[in-house]
Structure 1
Amino acid sequence: MVNIKKKISWQTAKTTGLPDDCEIDLETVAVTICGGGNGAHAGAAMLSHQGCKTSMYLSLKKEAAKLKHGIEQGGIKCEQLILDELIQYRGAPVVSDDASIVGGSDVIIILAPGFAHESILREIKPFLKDGALVGALPAHGGFDLVAKHVLAERIEDVTLFGTVSLPWAARIASYGMRVEILGTKEELPMSCHPRVPRVPIVQLFNSMFIGTTFPLGNDFLEITLWPANNIIHPGILYGQWKNWEGTPLHEKPLFYVGLDDFAASKLQGMSDEIQQVKIAVEKELGLTLSVPELSGFLLQSYGREIEDKSSLKRIFQTNPGYQGLTHPMRQTGEGNYVPDFSSRYLTEDLPHGLAVLRGIAGLVNVPTPCMDEVLSWGQNACGQKYLDNGTMTGKDVSHSGVPQRFGYHQVSELIF
């Protein structure tokens, strides 16, 4: 016998809690997606399809107009692959370039690169209603520190949330019209401020998203230390291009599937260093943090889909969601390509990823030779500077989520 749960409004669930025999009526939930990229397309289509009152905020007028025009052709069609099943649906969110659109929203989800988080938070801050849920997917790289810095006195008026990565690997097929979800994570850990949420946010997210559940973590530090794109993207780039001498290639090399033994060893080395940092943080703060090894995270996310789990390299190479994805490249002539070191794999995943990890390691005096090696190469490749003579004092720290930027010199200061 199927138990049919009673639907209650989000406002009721916030006020009285969510009984076991009830579920949240998503038609009573207003959501704003901030961003217009792959993840924003997927999220907006999914949440609109699920019944949420969904809007999208983009500050750039031309981009917003382009997105609105595409959606007006029949909504965003989403094709989502979960295991071997392809499901299809459409969503038709409202689009605006006016930040005041968030004023009526219960949930504001920033689905944009890490370097855009600070400016988006500044734009929406005046319009946030008390009790709103405000967060980012993903929120690694010091998102909570940036949010505390920007929201200041408003930080206690909202519930801050974040996840360790995106719920999926998504790709826009036609802007404003069609998006493909190539791989769906089964579980995606979430953390909140306050640590114990005042509202049933986990149940809400489990209802809103298709194919993914959101277990609640212990502290935002778990998200910041979580081994994901913060080490994956810079590490794979380093392995592929560290000895590159400038000769163009005739085809784009495969990114994840092209992982070799050297790059895999650097990824493992950085993952091991994260574990050492985690242990030092736990000892100093008296906390228990749930932060897996890199291989553990990948298996937690894609375990049912990965064909060969025998090594870190084979986990990457046999993940269906990674098939066909190539290195970020620039075309220099007919059939010639060179690496694009201005891609977000460095410009986002260093200042809001690897550099933040290195900054926390410095707070607890844990040596990180693998992180230093990859970070030094990456910052030189993209013309930025975070690590300078062994300390996080480079000129570009001021545009990052690195703890030292905010004047934090003790790991205890990261807890608020």
Structure 2
Amino acid sequence: MKVAIAGGGNIGTQFAVHFAEKGHNVYIHTSKPEKFSSMLSIVDHNNNVIHQASIKKATSSDKEAFQGADLIFVTVPSFAMKSAARQIIPYLKKGAMIGIIPGNGGGELAFKEAIDKGAIIFGLQRVPSVARIVEYGKKVCATGYRQKLYVAALPQEATNKVNKLISTNFDMACGTLPDYLNLTLTPSNPILHTTRLYTLFKDYVPGKTYKKVPLFYQEWDNETTKLLFKCDEEVQKLCKALKDYNLSDVKSLKIHYENNTIEGFTHKIQNIEGFQGLLTPTVKLDNEFIPDLKSRYFTADFNYGLNIFMQIARMYGVDMPNCQKIISWYNSIRDINFNEFSFDDYGIKTKKAFNRFYKM
């Protein structure tokens, strides 16, 4: 197949290696093609090469990357999905498959027109592993590969086809999700990151600085876990209110991280191998710090994460006070230069319109 990867970052590089390794012609669409080697590697935390393959080309040309592609993976951040869709859709061939990785963040609606043109849209509930660039355009470190991936597609009847594609090319078990909303409402980063940022910076106002900021995961605290549990319960409450959908695979974070006590959950987050050493998104001013409001932890996980949950909650009349407290705090400090997701932009203003799209 011709496989195009939109985005040459952590996930894009990892996916490029896996699919090139299986013999596909892989094109990476990036603004920095000159930085890419034709041979890309995935290494473990000891820098041992675990996967390696040669891609066909890295290019900044929309036409060269996407025209005639059988499979396109979109790995750009959620706020760039609309822009990516504008670049990809003019070159789509009928029957092309477009994978949004990961599948939350509203990307499915950015590609609504692609479905009308006969494309299949799909997403993974979570990425195959934690991946971090070691050397841009050459090497990525991947740790903690999952036992199993989960996929959903629009139209829904294409899910089994996509399942086979993913399991074959990653050599991993892959399960099918009953409704695409299992991806949209997956509470990973939209709850995990937003609760942590709130407890770290809830007293932040412009002009305030911090002498020291804890590591994001490694110094996770019980205060964050308590708030996360409350928000996690509100997401489960929202899922129960969407009675037209089977959302049994929107698992509580307590189940996902296999801990239902505050102390146990905190300890688990602090000790996950792939999370070690990750910094809190900040900007350094002299010798002090302020939150980096341009970081994806803010611009993606609030604007295109928690914000989507809250819009669906309002549509269905579900009260989510803790999530609302966090989104209200964020809106008081957010960088207004970054757009946020809105169902209204896609003509979805009622439950009927919502169901028409997600039940196709």
Instruction: Find 1:257's aligned residue among 205, 215, 218.
Output: 218
Aligned to 1:164: 125
Question: How far has the Cα of 1:339 moved from its partner?
Answer: 2.2
**Structure 2: distance between partners of 1:124 and 1:286:** 30
Structure 2 residue identity aligned to 1:189: Y
Task: Report whether the alignment pairs 1:120 with 2:79.
Answer: no
Task: Report whether the alignment pairs 1:77 with 2:41.
Answer: yes
Matches within 5 A, 1:81-120: 87-93=49-55, 94-100=57-63, 101-120=65-84
Q: Secondary structure at the match of 1:354?
A: helix
Instruction: Find 1:153's aligned residue among 110, 113, 116.
Output: 116
Instruction: Find 1:143's aligned residue among 107, 120, 134.
Output: 107
**Structure 1: distance between partners of 2:333 and 2:128:** 29
Question: How far has the Cα of 1:327 moved from its partner?
Answer: 0.5
Structure 1: gaps spanning 5 or more residues? 1-28, 300-305, 386-395
Task: Report whether the alignment pairs 1:412 with 2:355.
Answer: yes
Structure 2: gaps spanning 5 or more residues? none
Question: How far has the Cα of 1:310 moved from its partner?
Answer: 6.8
Larger radius of gyration: 1
Matches within 5 A, 1:292-331: 292-299=251-258, 311-331=264-284
Question: How far has the Cα of 1:287 moved from its partner?
Answer: 4.1
**Structure 1: distance between partners of 2:253 and 2:241:** 18
Question: How far has the Cα of 1:115 moved from its partner?
Answer: 0.8
**Structure 2: distance between partners of 1:202 and 1:113:** 23
Task: Report whether the alignment pairs 1:240 with 2:200.
Answer: yes
**Structure 1: distance between partners of 2:181 and 2:302:** 17
TM-score (norm 2): 0.89
Question: How far has the Cα of 1:199 moved from its partner?
Answer: 6.3
Question: How far has the Cα of 1:181 moved from its partner?
Answer: 1.0
Contact 2:282/2:290, CA 8 A, preserved across alignment: yes
Contact 2:159/2:176, CA 8 A, preserved across alignment: no
Tell me the number of residue pairs that the alignment of Structure 1 and Structure 2 aligns: 351
Instruction: Find 2:326's aligned residue among 374, 388, 392.
Output: 374
C-alpha offsets along residues 334-366 of structure 1, whole Å, 9 cap, x if unaligned? x54332121011111122111000011111111
Contact 2:182/2:247, CA 8 A, preserved across alignment: no
Structure 1 residue identity aligned to 2:75: L
Task: Report whether the alignment pairs 1:48 with 2:48.
Answer: no
Q: Secondary structure at the match of 1:200?
A: helix
Q: Secondary structure at the match of 1:215?
A: strand
Contact 2:103/2:126, CA 8 A, preserved across alignment: yes
Contact 1:256/1:316, CA 8 A, preserved across alignment: yes
Q: Secondary structure at the match of 1:55?
A: strand
Aligned to 2:182: 222
Question: How far has the Cα of 1:86 moved from its partner?
Answer: 5.7
Q: Secondary structure at the match of 1:56?
A: strand
C-alpha offsets along residues 82-101 of structure 1, whole Å, 9 cap, x if unaligned? xx996523222211111122
**Structure 2: distance between partners of 1:135 and 1:38:** 16
Q: Secondary structure at the match of 1:188?
A: strand
CA root-mean-square deviation: 2.5
Q: Percent identity?
A: 25
